[in-house]
Chain A
């Protein structure tokens, strides 16, 4: 089955700087890669996703890049703000409808004011 590794497990950045979180996956058939943000005590919420036919996607201060050959994808947050502090999860899902979403182990991002 799919295995998703996520690094780093914790990340502290100064407010205004950029943050990068990286994930690798094992199943070359995976074709959908979402990122979820989970604030303390809250539910995971989708912030951005990318499909395997796209190399990069951007939404305001958030971008995701995908390297299918190397089987890794990354989340980039620019101009970080205190409200970006949360746990971020990457995930991967295969092509078939009944395939599960496999999550990475999470990155706790702390923005230092």
Chain B
């Protein structure tokens, strides 16, 4: 009955590798987001999608490519991982773009060695 879920929960990988994080919401929401939380706990938006359409792209390196196969899923693929990509990545969703309340997933802790 989890509202917003992410996999994997933990990801440890070497520099230069490519990895993906998956997010699914079963709330029937139209809008989904990816946030990055760094070691200082700063929460910054990376992308938002509304009904599979990219709405916000926050000056994120193009090594990061989100993909929304349907409105219940928003995946994040990262190419050529760098040390600075180490962070916790949170997926979130909201009813639609006008509804402000966002529900966060449990997070994916990424460590790049």
Kindly supply a per-residue 1/0 record for chain B positions 70-113, scoring 1 wherever the CB is within 8 Å of any chain A CB and 0 otherwise.
00000000000000000000100000111011111111000000
Partner of B58, one of A32, A43, A100: A100
Binds A, one of B12-20, B21-29, B40-48: B40-48
Q: Is the CB of A98 within 8 A of B97?
A: yes
Whole-angstrom distance between the alpha carbons of A31 and B104 in the complex? 21
Chain A residues lying within 8 Å of B90, measured Cβ to Cβ, are 43-44
Residue of B nearest to A33 (CB): B100
Residues of A within 8 A of B (CB): 32, 34, 38, 42-46, 49, 87, 89, 93, 97-98, 100-103, 105-106, 108
The winner among B45, B90, B100, B103 for most chain A CB atoms within 10 A is: B100
Q: Is the CB of B56 within 8 A of A46?
A: no
Chain A residues lying within 8 Å of B106, measured Cβ to Cβ, are 42-43
A-B contact count (CB 8 A): 49
Whole-angstrom distance between the alpha carbons of A38 and B90 in the complex? 12
Chain A residues lying within 8 Å of B44, measured Cβ to Cβ, are 103
Residues of B within 8 A of A (CB): 40-45, 48, 50, 55-56, 58, 90, 96-98, 100-107
Residue of B nearest to A31 (CB): B100
Partner of B100, one of A38, A49, A87: A49
Q: Is the CB of B104 within 8 A of A44?
A: yes
Q: Is the CB of B42 within 8 A of A103?
A: yes
B66 to chain A minimum Cβ distance, whole angstroms, is 14
With A34-B101, A98-B56 known as contacts, the answer to whether A43 contacts B45 (CB < 8 A) is no
B109 to chain A minimum Cβ distance, whole angstroms, is 9
Q: Is the CB of A87 within 8 A of B41?
A: yes
B6 to chain A minimum Cβ distance, whole angstroms, is 9
Q: Is the CB of B100 within 8 A of A93?
A: yes
Whole-angstrom distance between the alpha carbons of A87 and B39 in the complex? 13
Residue of B nearest to A1 (CB): B58
Residue of A nearest to B31 (CB): A97
Q: Is the CB of A100 within 8 A of B48?
A: yes
